[in-house]
Amino acid sequence: MKEIHWPKIDSNHLAVYPKQMVDLEREMFLRGMPEESLMEKVGIKISSWIVGQKDLLINGVVVVIGPGNNGGDGAVIARELFLKGIVTKVWVPFPIKKTLTSKHLDYITFLGVEKLTSPPDPRKNDLWIDAILGNNQDRSVNDEIVRIFNKKSKINKGIIISIDVPTGICPSSGTLFAKDAITSEITLSVGLKKIGILQDVAKPFVGKIHNIDIGLSEKQLKNIKTRIMSLSYKDIKSLNLSLPPKNASKYKRGKTLIIVGSSKYPGAAMLSIQGALSSGIGSVKALLPKEISKSIWQCAPELVVLGEFDGPNQGNAVINRTLNELDLEDFDSIMLGPGIGLNSSDWEKSEEKLKSYGGLLILDADALNRIARSKAKSKFFSERNGKTWITPHLGEFGRLFPEFAVTTPLESALSVASQFDIGVLLKGANSIIADNEKNVWQIYDSSFTSARAGLGDLLSGFVAGMSALEISSGVDLRTESLSKYALLHSYAGYKCKVGSSASDIGKKLAKIVKKVKTRQMS
């Protein structure tokens, strides 16, 4: 397994399956840490974090305590908040099953924490803490409990914080056990983030995610086999790019070829080219439809149009004749797909040329749909000579790899990357990037602007430009870089104040990349 260079392998970045977290805790107990000490540590760390958010505590706190260890954490939190003079109450809707949780509950009631005999009032403007099931949940709970929590959320009275995993959400997949789950403004993940809370399906329920470090050792973290790295916008600060020397000529600063667009989809070509140029690459060349190539100089005078192709049938471009005349080895990367249409016979005439290309081939949108419709289908990837990255959304992924699109998106991306030895960027609200070494990067701090027409085209062009720029510096480019590009693209959407269109975000992206490069070179 190749070492991950970015981000740092630590408790703020690693995410795990529930069983992995249980195994890590069990190892801690076997090595001598008492279970009581871990519960104390978790409860005290969470309560300290909450106390730091003073605005949340003005109107008091209700901790809803579950039957197991998550409830025990909640009891410790209640104790610590109460001892700091905060009005604290607990509600215990289930019979307690864990002896340690029961002891903590007995102690806090002895101290004077009020134990409610009926459900709390969701109309009060207080803080509620969901300490019901957390990492160990594998089933739905009483619908009435979820309804009470979500009534509070809907009328916008106070804040809801969930400990580890909001009640009603599967910690492994993020799917709901029933029709609804507790909708939290904040999820405080314990130890390491659970994979379920990072998934698109869980996004409406988890709110902002903060990790609570419980002191897992560096050795424990590095021994985790499947490494899933969670990425947020804070990681932009540690993101470095491999850059060519300052005195390198334009042809030594990366060369990419963009094959995009059709008479029906001219915008896809424009945005892909804008994405490539925003990388600051030395040379961008393109194969374009005749209708676009005549006018592209007006919006992208830096672009060199290397050839033209036809698109006679409802945007189904014919690229094989133009493509087969080129020497593709002159390019560090080639990106193909946005807006070229669903001409599978044209793809089959281009396959051999693309298979033999030794550089990085980036396939997006209609290129993936063409492969899905072709005779060879996904066998194309196994027969490729060079490195391949694909950037599908879920629909394109499902058409191309129907046999792999039956598990969670994360598992599907990981399986395809390993099976076909390719890099996969599975686009979504929280995009997933997977490589063939069982490494995954998932962006969880994503912008609401990520679902916009044209942003995928902008991203694929940006990936083409950035990858060629880094390759020109002499590095052996890894899928890790693909995760950096995806994060930068998402961050540009978040930071763009003038608008949320793909073209506006493209301009912001260029400024952000320049800022990263300037920081590195200073």
Is 2 inside a domain boundary?
A: no
Strands in 127-131's sheet, in edge-to-edge order, are 114-116, 88-91, 61-65, 127-131, 159-163, 186-190, 208-212
List the one residue out of 72, 75, 44 whose CA is nearest residue 61. Answer: 75
Is 237 inside a domain boundary?
A: no
Interval 491-519: pLDDT, tens? 999 999 887 789 999 999 999 999 999 99
For the cut 80, the answer to whether the pLDDT of residue 67 exceeds it is yes
CATH number, domain with residue 59? 3.40.50.10260
> In whole angstroms, what is the distance from residue 373 CA to residue 369 CA?
6
> In whole angstroms, what is the distance from residue 184 CA to residue 209 CA?
10
Query: Do residues 213 and 353 share a domain?
Result: no
CATH number, domain with residue 503? 3.40.1190.20
The residue from 185, 208, 225 where one domain ends is 225
Question: What pLDDT does residue 315 have?
Answer: 72
Is 95 inside a domain boundary?
A: yes
Q: What is the DSSP letter of 104?
A: H
Q: Give CA angle at 479 (190, 231), nearest 5°.
A: 25
Is 105 inside a domain boundary?
A: yes
What percent of the chain shows pLDDT beyond 90?
A: 86
Rounded to 10 deg, the angle between the 35-51 and 99-111 helix axes is 50
Interval 278-298: pLDDT, tens? 999 999 999 999 888 888 888
Q: Kindly state the average pLDDT of the residues 241-258.
A: 93
Query: Do residues 181 and 324 share a domain?
Result: no
Query: Do residues 273 and 384 share a domain?
Result: yes
Interval 456-487: pLDDT, tens? 999 999 999 999 999 999 999 999 999 999 99
Neighbours of 399 (CB within 10 A): 16
List of residues 6+ apart from 270 with CB closer than 8 A: 261, 292, 296, 299, 300, 503
Query: Do residues 179 and 215 share a domain?
Result: yes
Question: What pLDDT does residue 406 have?
Answer: 86
Interval 222-239: pLDDT, tens? 889 889 999 999 999 999
Query: Do residues 134 and 277 share a domain?
Result: no
Question: What pLDDT does residue 77 have?
Answer: 98
Query: Do residues 208 and 96 share a domain?
Result: yes
Provide the number of structural domains found in the chain.
2
List of residues 6+ apart from 199 with CB closer than 8 A: 173, 174, 408, 409, 410, 430
For residue 388, the SS3 value is strand
Q: Which domain holds residue 363?
A: 250-521
Largest CA distance in the chain: 84
Interval 107-139: pLDDT, tens? 999 999 999 999 999 999 999 999 999 998 998
